[in-house]
Chain A
């Protein structure tokens, strides 16, 4: 009989090994899934994980996409991870991402067609503030009325999506666009564009911000009292109060940081890769970032790697759809498996498996 036995201390080895194991298990189970769909599993896995980087024909296009996709994922996931560590569950990063993009775009477009160099920095600030403000709604409701931040932040995503729709067909619509939905091109307007900084790498300001966020989060979590209080509040709320942590302030802080970073990600996306506000601007980064945060063990460096990996499965998934005619749903299931297996094998870091005679301790 198989039993789980609690370890006296969490295993360091397994803490690092479980993400790798989860990836391997996902490949195995995904392979089985693809085989059932009548595709060659090895080829499918290779197409997802290998071809985007090394395929002679496609890698030239797909390699830069890695950073383009990973940038927002990392930026959002870093913010989420700080809240998750404190037991504050912001599920609505997608909404904060949208509102950040809207706020930044609106602030910039208000000054169109000025060519001031201050416009882009101002838009960045507006974007961060937009995401922050959207996250303050669940934060203040939680502090004042003890509402559940999971529900409030999630439902606000749908409100944000409607805001986005109304902006692209109404108040932010391009007046010279011939009545088509969508705003003026932000990437085409020099003052607001967020270009590729080094040609062929996919590197833009959002990716830079993502890297800075990783370093910032690493320092805060390992050296600053805020990071310590976040971990304390997540692990032992009573001990945190005993240590003088004000739970309300922590909620405001954590939701604020994650909202602002999601808003930044939205702003960099709308001014760069997406280029304009459109109805289908949001591509689910805010939700995928939740997977990235957990896959990276809520650890900044881990999130950096997990963001890259997740971006790879996105690009590889698209490639697999295109080359092997795999259905999009199969790719989404594949990505979902990753979180599923990660959470499943996570138990190994705190428990060990014993195989043997039954015994109650």
Chain B
């Protein structure tokens, strides 16, 4: 077997942490190679080194047997390495073709570029119209823009960072077909993901990183997801258990909420109704940007609506603000951790006060009891295993997963009657995600109602009792998760437009 890319002893240290420690592995042409690891395991640093964004302290790389040390992404691209990032860098107000032209060294004439885009999108089964504005595209379609941008450079190695996190099941299938086709043509793919079943379905080999070191390699098709997860985490995982809860009385009810969007690329909510019973978990699926933020804001009280639209235990609360709702027991945790759920530059103690002040009685006559607040912050840190030196550290110094544990823990420990969470495990590593899910299920089993808004469908299937889909600001009717198949979920998500084949001439 020939080798396309060979990494030999790559090491990269940052102040206080060794991101990569003597990492070596090889990728063959046409191989789909998975890079597995928890958050902070060093996956990002490693691919940044391959893509020329970061320079290794020591160690060498070889591409086609020649020494390969890209000083910048341009050099990496010239050598045939392309990368699709987890977060897209696209201009919403520009067309697909214009966006692609912006990312090229020498863009061809617009007409020729459109022609090339159509050709590539046709060849690889990625339906995409070059003249559409990116602002109108779904997340899956936006990703196709990024992929086609890479494919136009005819790469030998394509790096994909968490590509399926924003896709519907149908879109994932389309993507996999494309990747398999690329692989068959000899393009190697370095695939970063924490979704183990996907890796088992797609990848030929896997390298597992933990704490910056290679801790194992495996052939994913011959390894169970559980074994891989345990290699990743380094300990035996306990499975989250979905308790059988008896649904109680209706605690929260939303009736025909319509809410115009406040920003040009936001989503208007249209006629959204839902009903939540005590002791149950309602999962709301859908790709981010379909009204999730707007729905959470309406439930948390950040956006006020007509008072009879939202009822909490038969009280009309649409006009109440966040703290009045907290007092009644309706708590929420938004998706954006830094800047919305928590203030980045404030300490964890101060951030504990942010939502805890009402129910934890952290202030008397509007004077803050800092000692009590600190104790509350410490309790959250301890109970939810938040890795931080202490509550005086700034929120922004925590990793995403740890801050998410803090944010969720802060709400759960206030014993809410209803908790609404948006993307509770987004960007969180496997073991932290498991403990967050377990906490939410434990909360429901105590008789609280829980709404989980998430684009991770596996997560919703695992923990939710009922499932409904939020698409383009409309919420589908809910159905029990027990009887749902993946295809049905995909259809509920309104994935129909993603399933049509390339409509190109």
Given contacts A8-B394, A8-B396, whether A239 and B323 have CB atoms under 8 Å apart is: no
Given contacts A231-B346, A235-B343, A360-B54, whether A246 and B355 have CB atoms under 8 Å apart is: no
Q: Which of B408-467 contact A (CB under 8 A)?
A: none
- Chain A contacts for B321, CB-based, 8 A: 244, 246
Q: Which of B12-59 contact A (CB under 8 A)?
A: 14, 53-55
- Chain A contacts for B14, CB-based, 8 A: 361
A244–B301 CB distance below 8 A? yes
Q: Which of A248-273 contact B (CB under 8 A)?
A: none
Given contacts A223-B368, A225-B357, A225-B363, whether A242 and B340 have CB atoms under 8 Å apart is: yes
- Chain A contacts for B350, CB-based, 8 A: 228
A242–B346 CB distance below 8 A? no
* A239 CA / B333 CA spacing, docked (Å): 11
Interface size on A, residues (CB 8 A): 23
- Chain B contacts for A236, CB-based, 8 A: 338-340, 342-344, 346
* A238 CA / B353 CA spacing, docked (Å): 15
Interface size on B, residues (CB 8 A): 38
B367–A239 CB distance below 8 A? no
Given contacts A9-B393, A359-B54, A360-B72, whether A242 and B368 have CB atoms under 8 Å apart is: no
- Chain B contacts for A359, CB-based, 8 A: 54-55
B55–A244 CB distance below 8 A? no
Q: Which of B123-162 contact A (CB under 8 A)?
A: none
A244–B397 CB distance below 8 A? no
A225–B368 CB distance below 8 A? yes
The answer to whether the Cβ of B336 comes within 8 Å of any Cβ in the partner chain is: yes
The answer to whether the Cβ of A55 comes within 8 Å of any Cβ in the partner chain is: no
Output the least CB separation between A214 and chain B (Å).
Answer: 18
The answer to whether the Cβ of A188 comes within 8 Å of any Cβ in the partner chain is: no
* A226 CA / B54 CA spacing, docked (Å): 44
The answer to whether the Cβ of A224 comes within 8 Å of any Cβ in the partner chain is: yes
The answer to whether the Cβ of A232 comes within 8 Å of any Cβ in the partner chain is: yes
From the candidates B322, B334, B345, name the one contacting A244 in the complex (CB within 8 A).
B322
The answer to whether the Cβ of B79 comes within 8 Å of any Cβ in the partner chain is: no
* A225 CA / B55 CA spacing, docked (Å): 47
- Chain B contacts for A10, CB-based, 8 A: 345, 394
- Chain A contacts for B267, CB-based, 8 A: none
From the candidates B53, B341, B366, name the one contacting A242 in the complex (CB within 8 A).
B341
B397–A8 CB distance below 8 A? yes
A239–B340 CB distance below 8 A? yes
B336–A238 CB distance below 8 A? yes
Q: Which residue of A lies closest to B48 (CB)?
A: A361
B354–A239 CB distance below 8 A? yes
The answer to whether the Cβ of B300 comes within 8 Å of any Cβ in the partner chain is: yes
- Chain A contacts for B346, CB-based, 8 A: 231-232, 235-236
Q: Which residue of A lies closest to B347 (CB)?
A: A9
Q: Which of B310-343 contact A (CB under 8 A)?
A: 321-324, 326, 334, 336, 338-343
The answer to whether the Cβ of A4 comes within 8 Å of any Cβ in the partner chain is: no
The answer to whether the Cβ of B302 comes within 8 Å of any Cβ in the partner chain is: yes
- A-B CB contacts (within 8 Å), total count: 79
A242–B54 CB distance below 8 A? no
Output the least CB separation between B19 and chain A (Å).
Answer: 10
The answer to whether the Cβ of A243 comes within 8 Å of any Cβ in the partner chain is: yes
From the candidates A238, A244, A361, name the one contacting B339 in the complex (CB within 8 A).
A238
Q: Which of A345-361 contact B (CB under 8 A)?
A: 357, 359-361
Output the least CB separation between B344 and chain A (Å).
Answer: 7
Q: Which residue of A lies closest to B355 (CB)?
A: A243
Output the least CB separation between A115 and chain B (Å).
Answer: 41
Given contacts A10-B394, A236-B340, whether A244 and B366 have CB atoms under 8 Å apart is: no
- Chain B contacts for A3, CB-based, 8 A: none
The answer to whether the Cβ of A46 comes within 8 Å of any Cβ in the partner chain is: no
- Chain A contacts for B54, CB-based, 8 A: 359-361
* A238 CA / B262 CA spacing, docked (Å): 14
* A228 CA / B363 CA spacing, docked (Å): 11
Q: Which residue of A lies closest to B354 (CB)?
A: A243
B355–A228 CB distance below 8 A? no
- Chain A contacts for B366, CB-based, 8 A: 224-226
Output the least CB separation between A353 and chain B (Å).
Answer: 13
- Chain B contacts for A8, CB-based, 8 A: 394, 396-397
* A8 CA / B16 CA spacing, docked (Å): 11
A224–B396 CB distance below 8 A? no
Q: 1/0 per residue B275-316: CB within 8 Å of A? A: 000000000000000000000000011100000000000000
Given contacts A236-B340, A238-B340, A244-B301, 10 further A-B contacts (CB under 8 A): A9-B393, A10-B345, A224-B366, A224-B368, A225-B368, A236-B339, A236-B346, A238-B336, A242-B302, A244-B324
- A/B interface sample: 24 pairs, CB < 8 A: A8-B394, A9-B396, A9-B397, A10-B345, A224-B366, A225-B357, A225-B363, A225-B366, A225-B368, A228-B353, A232-B354, A236-B338, A236-B339, A236-B340, A236-B342, A236-B346, A239-B339, A239-B341, A241-B302, A242-B300, A242-B334, A242-B355, A243-B354, A244-B324
Q: Which residues of B line the A interface, CB within 8 A?
A: 14, 53-55, 72, 300-302, 321-324, 326, 334, 336, 338-346, 350, 353-355, 357, 363, 366-368, 370, 393-394, 396-397
Q: Which residues of A line the B interface, CB within 8 A?
A: 8-10, 223-226, 228, 231-232, 235-236, 238-239, 241-244, 246, 357, 359-361
Q: 8 closest Cβ contacts across the A-B interface?
A: A244-B323, A236-B343, A8-B397, A244-B322, A9-B394, A238-B340, A225-B366, A239-B343
